[in-house]
Amino acid sequence: MKLIIGNKNYSSWSLRAWLAARASGQIFEEIRIALFIEGSRERILQHSPSGKVPCVIDHGLAVWDSLAICEYLAEKSPGLWPTDPAARAVARSVSAEMHSGFTDLRQHMSMNIRKDYAGKGHTPAVDANIARIEAIWNDCRARFGSKATPGGPYLFGAFSAADAMYAPVCFRFRTYGIQPAGAAGEYLAAMLAHPLMREWETAARDESESIPAEDLYG
């Protein structure tokens, strides 16, 4: 299996698929394509019919779009979604909500692991996105996380595809200096300390490319 991703500093959708792939335990070859430079689009299109990353290629089968990749990986490694049906349904709901929403946060607080943009990017709509994310984290931890088997500090106890979907928000919250109180804050700290998040962060810091249009605040 191959996983095609973009720059680790910037590509939030790539991070989601990469975390799900690593958490699934599947062996895969990682192909990183630096985005928005000459030839990027052609290189991506050699693998991904949408012209976007992430994309998985499994024995010639292309699976693209982060949530579809999570579902594909979960069919091979069922532990990627919570085992309890109610928890699994809510995990899919919050993942779909992330996949289809939070456009103001994405626009004004794009993922940029190497930067410190504390205090930047706030608008009323961004703050509403942040409040909704904190509510989701608090709700998942209270209803499912603390009671789950197997347990753990993540949204549904053990690390799941839902955590992969919210992982870029965790890096964004750190970059933009957002510090949730209570269970949401504890969840954020656990995510930032996760070994796979740290591995991705180290690789992001080691990248040499920058994308000026994504360095929103200098």
Ligand X SMILES: N[C@@H](CCC(=O)N[C@@H](CS)C(=O)NCC(=O)O)C(=O)O
Least distance in angstroms from the C-beta of 84 to ligand X? 26
Name every residue whose Cβ is closer than 8 Å to that of residue 39 and which is 6 or more positions away in sequence: none
Binding mask 96-135 for ligand X (x = CB under 6 A): ---x------------------------------------
Residue 9: alpha-carbon gap to chain centroid: 12
Least distance in angstroms from the C-beta of 47 to ligand X? 11
Q: Indicate whether 171 belongs to the interface with ligand X (CB under 6 A).
A: no
Q: Indicate whether 56 belongs to the interface with ligand X (CB under 6 A).
A: no
Beta bridge partners of 56: 3, 63
Name every residue whose Cβ is closer than 8 Å to that of residue 106 and which is 6 or more positions away in sequence: 12
Q: Indicate whether 201 belongs to the interface with ligand X (CB under 6 A).
A: no
Task: Using CB under 6 A, pick the residue from 4, 35, 90, 130 that binds ligand X.
Answer: 35
The pairing of beta strand 29-32 with beta strand 2-5: parallel
Q: Indicate whether 157 belongs to the interface with ligand X (CB under 6 A).
A: no
Q: Indicate whether 95 belongs to the interface with ligand X (CB under 6 A).
A: no
Between residues 45 and 128, which has the closer beta carbon with respect to ligand X?
45
Query: Which segment (21-29, 65-73, 101-109, 136-144) binds ligand X by CB under 6 A?
Result: 65-73
Q: What SS3 string covers 104-170?
A: HHHHHCCCCCCCCCCCCCCCHHHHHHHHHHHHHHHHHHHHCHHHCCCCCCECCECCCHHHHHHHHHH
Residue numbers of the site for ligand X (CB under 6 A)?
A: 6, 11-14, 35, 41, 51-54, 65-67, 99
